[in-house]
A and B are shown apart, each in its own frame.
Chain A
């Protein structure tokens, strides 16, 4: 199983080299090797006696992240889907993509995606699953943006990435919570602890997170909006990622976790509710599209909704229906995408308004399309697999369990009607798709190319899929026991034995529902033009796309507005904000922690006599005066008074060395300032508003107050003797000097001194460079 995940990755590494020979051999042939071999390997697991397999490889065991690969019925279905459809799509792409395209890029992304997808469905470790989950988003981003010279491609790529990564991150949130609660990172061990999870306080949050992850990936309403825009990707990609595999990852996730959550009523309400809404909305909107791939995109959304709804029902029949439909949907939708690609390839357009009457020109494609669309529409014919899954779906909507929540009860009653409603539109767009393209008038003059049948290579892959449609249609029970039953068991968490699917059950309700669908659908299809005005009312101008665009563009404008409102480049503003924050928080802390203490012991305080008072008063006056001075030189001289005052205080308190240092520093700085200021213009008179000044005043006083209060408290809280005593005692004996300050500077804390000197050195070199380098610039 390690092989399944890493073989595509390894191959991806080789592709850049192999693609150099693309003119001799189309790179796609090399790529084909991966899905084909993996498909053949895994297909051998199918059988009545299939037993889940678990393989474990260490990766980051210290974080409980191990490569535990778990192959059960559910992952087997997906692995076969990914490799099977992968092989067909790769084969198709060989004819679809011309050798002049950047094939290397295309196939690297595709293989990356394939590996990621195998990783998602096989991982038992939640964080490994998450890793691959994000990798699918990334590779999808790259594939949608493959033709990145197109504006729409870039838009679609970003959109899909944002929405799916959003979901991915929310999934990460769920996984983290689950891990914290269950103390394990393994999904099957989590399932064993389902009761613990269900009784957790975080249950609503976990479910929300998981649903967000699943619904975004599987394009459920209202997150479906990325899927139509993802159609900018080359058609093989649309067929593969955006219909058969990646978008089913959300379904997979819900299925994987449903043994844990399915007993919770909100699981039913949300999953079925959203599923059924998506079914209706997707099919309703599909009729309105004009782009072939647009129709198919909304159709995929709607079909995914249907599968999701069945998973939400949670009954045995519904789960089996979901599994059955996953397989069926992959067959007919994959082929239809390929045919849309063929039509695009051969006519040069996908606009259904320009197409029409292609049946005679492209008979094989048209035949395939008829099978595909009729199966999708659920037309009651015994050789169409779509009919059977639709029938199972209808049946399951009628068998929902009674619930205790009133809300769930309403939903339960409404679901069958909504199912019919959605299916009617499914029928309409299916007919619209096939008849609009292949029947009706020809508009050959509007087509960019002269249409003709596609090369045989391009037709092989869709033919194989249609063959699947017919075979499952003719023998609907062919793989149920040996294959799909295992899948259903894995989702249900208990052994499941499928009932036999028959074409004719008798004239029962599901069949009546189907007949209503066909009847009403035909009428609506024929009179399509008459009622299309309804789209003016619903959705009208309402659109989730607008919401997305507003949010994404809004992040830019709003964040610019917020940021520019305070990042205005004014240093004064920044300082004011910083100081205000410090004052408020620190004073708050002091108040809340009862940090202010004042103890005025006469022995810890010096005597204050007249000289001290005089000096202090002079300093205070000088400091205040500087604010009001209009002249720079005067200001600096007055500021000098403060400095000299300080050195007098040092003298008074018997610190002659400090006093000397202070004197020297003060003299030099005043001198330097005077030299500089000589070259500067006079200060402009201050014209700030009173409001501005008062804010500044409050901040200055506040900061002064803060410092004073802390200083007083710090002085009043001398709980310990200081290390200074040690220095005084050892200065002579250990330091060899009697001047303890000197010994501290050069010995005890010599490292400080060394690096303070370094600081001075750097400053000197820096200033030298600043002057010299600029002066030379000026000379040039």
Chain B
């Protein structure tokens, strides 16, 4: 019975999404229902998280078809932690949405798409089946396509089409790669694949297919040199949509890399993981260069997604317990702070009516709380202690030093400085400076925007100052990832 817990984080939002589609015109009802449902789901996930933390992974053989033949859902501590983070962001999004979206956008199924996006993301985290992962990718991507074009004008459609096409391409490549893999190992269950890949010591063709999968996930994760589709399209939809995208979509990609390259393709790390280290370094460099290149504040935040992914890849590339705990911690941190930043920047753009940094000044005199929240989140993002970013970065860089990888640490430290520069520039230019008396001040709107951001930043601070309450779990995850046989045994029950 208890194994059914694994399916709840997928099914609840799916049903919620479908349910809300029926009342889509009754906005007040939909809003309250969405708030209730997303909170309920979060509580359920929290319960599962506590259960998994105590008793180990919950494994569900869907439809009673035993592993490795049927689809297996694996709610282990890693996946359920990420699902929990996803739902926390979901709460912030649902509470922010009414202030930010137009009535029409809400009417045209925003909440349905939102819940189905959560479904797809949670499913991708929980599934233990490579083909099923593809299916959940489809769910989350289709929901994201619907969200990105929602109520859009010309620019939005023009940018969306790039997003859609490149992602479609990567999905095609995904399913092709799964087919190739099936041809070689004759299975799609991840634990089973892992076992079989190990059985033939990951011969060359398997490494090649692995690299192909890396490109698939790398495209979703926005790694160098695959991220071109990300920055602009992320700036065109409504901030709440950007926040969901920035927080969740690329993270599903990096999660997949984390899973696949700590479980399946781990027998030629000299080759694969060294290659990842290069990609991580280049991603960091080109990402921050992008973030420094523009005056569009939404674009600055969007570009900042890229170096963060680079940081997480460092941990996978280094591949020891310290660095993996860094990746997981950074992943949780980054999901939250990216959501907060997109929501914050969305508020700034809403209140000033422009995305151009050069047209803003002295906002802190009108909106002090907003200003300080932005200030705080800049330091959270740059990984300055005692906030969440620091703990992850600390472990990542320590892990790199343990393996003697000096260069990547220096790149990582410099990138942190430049990330801070890109953010503090916004603070100095937009928030500092003379008070602009000519603008109309909308304090009420600012208040509605800030509450969800405060909610998210609370977690960012908590993950730093209260790291002791979370880090041991993350350490446990890292240990678990370093010992893939635990996963394999728990799924295949050998």
Contacts and interface: CB of A to CB of B under 8 A. Distances in A.
Contact of A765 (B112, B203, B390, B472): B112
A595 interface: yes
B150 A769 contact: yes
B131 interface: yes
B162 A710 contact: no
Interface in B240-297: 268, 271, 275, 286, 288-290, 292-294
A63 B473 CA distance: 12
Most chain B beta carbons < 10 A, residue from A593, A762, A773: A762
A424 to B, nearest CB: 38
Nearest to A105: B368
A755 B138 contact: yes
A454 to B, nearest CB: 30
Interface stretch (A164-172, A318-326, A694-702): A164-172
Interface string A41-74: 0000000000000000011111101000000000
A751 B63 contact: yes
A721 interface: yes
Interface string B26-47: 0000000000000000000000
B398 A179 contact: yes
A170 B412 CA distance: 11
Interface string B185-210: 11111001000100110011111110
Nearest to A157: B428
A728 to B, nearest CB: 11
A711 interface: yes
A443 B181 CA distance: 87
Contacts of B406: 202, 205
Interface string A715-734: 10111111110110010001
Given A717-B205, A765-B112, A766-B142, A592 B292 contact: no
Contacts of B351: none
A60 B402 CA distance: 21
A555 interface: yes
Contacts of B386: 131
B151 A719 contact: no
A719 B185 contact: yes
A145 B432 contact: yes
Contacts of B359: none
A169 B271 contact: no
A59 B208 contact: no
Contacts of A593: 203-204, 207-208, 268, 271
A106 to B, nearest CB: 15
A717 B196 CA distance: 13
Given A63-B394, A592-B271, A173 B413 contact: yes
A575 B166 contact: yes
A762 B139 contact: yes
Interface string A144-159: 0100110000100110
A710 B180 contact: yes
Contact of B166 (A574, A586, A726): A574
Contacts of B23: none
Contacts of A582: 173, 212, 215
B143 interface: yes
Chain B: interface secondary structure?
helix
B183 interface: yes
A43 to B, nearest CB: 30
B65 interface: yes
B456 interface: no
Contact of A559 (B208, B226, B231, B289): B289
A394 B219 CA distance: 64
B402 A759 contact: no
A667 interface: no
Interface stretch (A370-378, A493-501, A563-571, A632-640): A563-571
B392 to A, nearest CB: 11
A130 interface: yes
Interface stretch (A503-511, A653-661, A742-750): A742-750
Nearest to B232: A569
B413 to A, nearest CB: 4
Most chain B beta carbons < 10 A, residue from A172, A566, A734: A172
A768 B188 CA distance: 35
Interface in A573-599: 573-575, 577-578, 581-582, 585-586, 589-590, 592-597
Given A571-B165, A758-B119, A718 B183 contact: yes
Contact of A589 (B166, B228, B271): B271
A752 interface: yes
B436 to A, nearest CB: 11
Contact of B293 (A563, A590, A751): A563
Contacts of B12: none
A613 interface: no
Nearest to B150: A769
Contacts of B434: 149
Contacts of A581: 215, 225-226
B490 interface: no
Contact of B211 (A162, A567, A585): A585
A761 B229 CA distance: 25
A562 B289 contact: yes
Most chain A beta carbons < 10 A, residue from B138, B182, B226, B288: B138
B161 interface: yes
Q: Chain A interface: which size bin?
A: 35 or more
B367 interface: no
A719 B182 CA distance: 11
B219 A578 contact: yes
A176 interface: yes
B484 interface: no
A676 interface: no
B109 interface: yes
A232 interface: no
B475 interface: yes
Contact of B433 (A138, A154, A594): A154
Contacts of A710: 180, 205, 208-209, 212
A564 B295 CA distance: 13
A686 interface: no
Contact of B472 (A62, A179, A574, A711): A62
Most chain B beta carbons < 10 A, residue from A145, A162, A581: A581
A590 B161 CA distance: 33
B109 A765 contact: yes
A131 B385 contact: yes
Contact of A149 (B173, B183, B199, B433): B433
Contacts of A62: 467-468, 471-472, 475
B226 A556 contact: no
A770 interface: yes
Contacts of A749: 70-71, 131-132
Contacts of A720: 184-187, 196, 199
Interface of A: 58-63, 65, 127, 130-131, 134, 138, 145, 148-149, 154, 157-158, 161-162, 165-166, 169-170, 172-173, 176-177, 179-180, 202, 205, 552, 555-556, 559-560, 562-564, 566-567, 569, 571, 573-575, 577-578, 581-582, 585-586, 589-590, 592-597, 707, 710-711, 713-715, 717-724, 726-727, 730, 734, 747-752, 755-756, 758-759, 761-763, 765-766, 768-770, 772-774, 776-777
Given A63-B394, A595-B208, 14 more contacts: A131-B386, A145-B428, A169-B413, A555-B292, A575-B166, A582-B212, A595-B204, A597-B205, A710-B208, A726-B69, A751-B132, A752-B71, A769-B150, A773-B150
Interface of B: 14, 18, 21, 62-63, 65, 68-71, 104-105, 108-109, 112-113, 116, 119-120, 123, 131-132, 135-136, 138-139, 142-143, 145-146, 149-153, 161-162, 165-166, 169, 173, 176, 180-189, 192, 196, 199-200, 203-209, 211-212, 215, 219, 225-226, 228-229, 231-232, 268, 271, 275, 286, 288-290, 292-294, 362, 379, 384-386, 390-391, 394-395, 397-398, 401-402, 406, 409-410, 413-414, 416-418, 420-421, 424-425, 428, 432-435, 467-468, 471-472, 475
- List the 4 closest pairs (A to B, CB-CB), nearest first: A595-B204, A766-B146, A722-B186, A593-B204
